[in-house]
């Protein structure tokens, strides 16, 4: 996170800005996961001081993520996903502090504090304040689906982009079961998908379940929330998708097991936070 990120967040306006004018036109899609639509809004916190879209610190595609980051990760982790052009599923989190382990956050904080101090030494004329734990938490949490569906310009800058099916993913280690939903106000609400057929959204969710299952080797179900017909109560209809497990996975939804202990085989690229919060393409090693 840049040294001025907390100042930028504090100075941001409180209202959300419409993203429709800056969003790219809908790209071709076979609608396997729904048509691509621009986000309803972009939150002030999701823009940097140059008015460029910030990048989610956890940004990674489902194709690239090691399954252990999810299956052996924090039990209360809330991953967010967006299907972008070419049916690629991108992952991140608006609740990043539910995903990264405490010791990794401490390492990130130490590294960012050292970067701030170095900047102060090189540029003593600036009035950058020391970075606190709360500053870092405020800076990396709350970056939603548009920061996951982000696209890049030729010079590496960021662009607000359309997305198809978007929502949340959770993994229950006790049941060895994954669950996705369509809970994204920016990409799935009636404001951006007027007249959407709830039955069609079910098919999109079923298709997404199969992709998650193939990658993670576990059964995955879905919950349809955002695109249900208007009802007098805030009910959630849960559906069980067709399970096509691979390898040694088994539909263990009704067979509780001991909770999985976190043992990270590696770390997501949180160390790239200084780059990804600034609206530039993260460099992967």
Secondary structure of 22-89 as H, E, C letters = CCCCCCCCCCCCCCCECCCEECHHHECCCCCECCCCCCEECCCCCHHHHHCCCCCCCEEEEECHHHCE
Number of domains present in the structure of the chain: 1
CA angle (241 as vertex; 235, 244 as ends), nearest 5: 160
Which pLDDT does position 119 carry in this prediction?
A: 75
Return d(Cα 92, Cα 148) in angstroms, integer: 6
Q: Which residues pair with 223 in a beta bridge?
A: 181, 238
Is 245 a domain residue?
yes
- What CA dihedral angle connects 33, 97, 50 and 152, to 10 degrees? -30
What is the Cα–Cα distance from 271 to 108, expressed in whole angstroms?
6
pLDDT at 237: 53
Say if 146 falls within a structural domain: yes
Q: Which pair of tokens denotes residue 237?
A: 């209809």
Residue 125: the pLDDT is 73
Q: Are 163 and 187 a contacting pair, CB within 8 Å? A: yes
Sign of the alpha-carbon dihedral angle for 43, 29, 278, 264: positive
- CB-count burial class (<10 Å; 0-12, 13-18, 19+) for 28: exposed
Range of the domain at 50: 5-276
282 domain residue, yes or no: no
Residue at 27 is within a domain: yes
Q: What are the b/e assignments for 43-57, b being 16+ CB within 10 Å?
A: bbbbbbeeebbbbbb
Neighbours of 124 (CB within 10 A): 9
For residue 127, the model assigns a pLDDT of 62
pLDDT at 265: 34
In a domain? residue 284: no
pLDDT, position 24: 42
Helix, strand and coil content of the chain, in percent to the nearest 5, comes to 30, 15, 55
* Residue 283 located in a structural domain: no
Predicted confidence at residue 147, as pLDDT, reads 96
- What's the CA gap between 117 and 120, in Å, rounded? 5
281 is a domain residue: no
Q: Is residue 91 part of a domain?
A: yes
Q: How many CA atoms lie within 13 A of 78 on its CB side?
A: 15
Structure tokens at 248: 């040694």
Taking only the tens of pLDDT, the chain with its 285 residues reads 333 332 232 223 334 444 443 444 444 445 899 999 999 999 999 998 889 999 998 899 999 999 999 999 888 999 999 999 999 999 999 988 899 888 778 887 787 788 778 878 887 776 667 778 888 787 788 999 999 999 998 888 899 999 999 999 999 999 999 999 999 999 999 999 999 999 999 999 999 999 999 999 999 999 999 998 876 545 455 554 444 444 444 444 443 333 333 333 333 433 333 333 445 545 544
| Cα–Cα dist 218/214, whole Å | 8
């Amino acid at each position: 996170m840049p040294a001025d990120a907390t100042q930028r967040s504090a100075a941001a306006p409180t209202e959300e800005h419409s993203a429709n004018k800056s969003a790219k036109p809908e790209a071709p899609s076979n609608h396997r996961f729904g048509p691509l639509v621009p986000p309803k809004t972009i939150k002030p916190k999701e823009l940097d001081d140059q008015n460029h879209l910030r990048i989610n610190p956890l940004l990674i595609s489902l194709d690239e993520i090691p399954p252990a980051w999810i299956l052996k990760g924090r039990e209360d982790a809330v991953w967010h996903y967006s299907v972008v052009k070419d049916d690629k599923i991108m992952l991140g989190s608006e609740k990043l502090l539910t995903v990264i382990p405490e010791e990794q956050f401490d390492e990130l904080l130490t590294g960012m504090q050292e970067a701030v101090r170095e900047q102060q030494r090189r540029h003593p004329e600036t009035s950058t304040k020391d970075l606190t734990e709360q500053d870092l938490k405020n800076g990396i949490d709350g970056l939603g689906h548009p920061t996951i569906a982000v696209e890049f310009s030729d010079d590496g800058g960021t662009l607000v982009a359309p997305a198809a099916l978007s929502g949340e993913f959770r993994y229950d280690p006790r049941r060895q079961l994954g669950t996705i939903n369509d809970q994204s106000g920016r990409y799935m609400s009636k404001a951006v998908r007027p007249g959407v057929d709830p039955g069609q959204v079910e098919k999109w969710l079923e298709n997404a379940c199969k992709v998650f299952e193939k990658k993670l080797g576990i059964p995955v179900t879905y919950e349809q929330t955002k695109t249900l017909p208007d009802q007098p109560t805030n009910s959630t209809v849960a559906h069980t998708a067709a399970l096509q497990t691979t390898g040694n996975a088994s539909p263990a939804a009704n067979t509780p097991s001991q909770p999985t202990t976190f043992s990270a085989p590696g770390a997501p690229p949180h160390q790239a936070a200084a780059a990804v919060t600034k609206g530039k393409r993260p460099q992967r090693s």
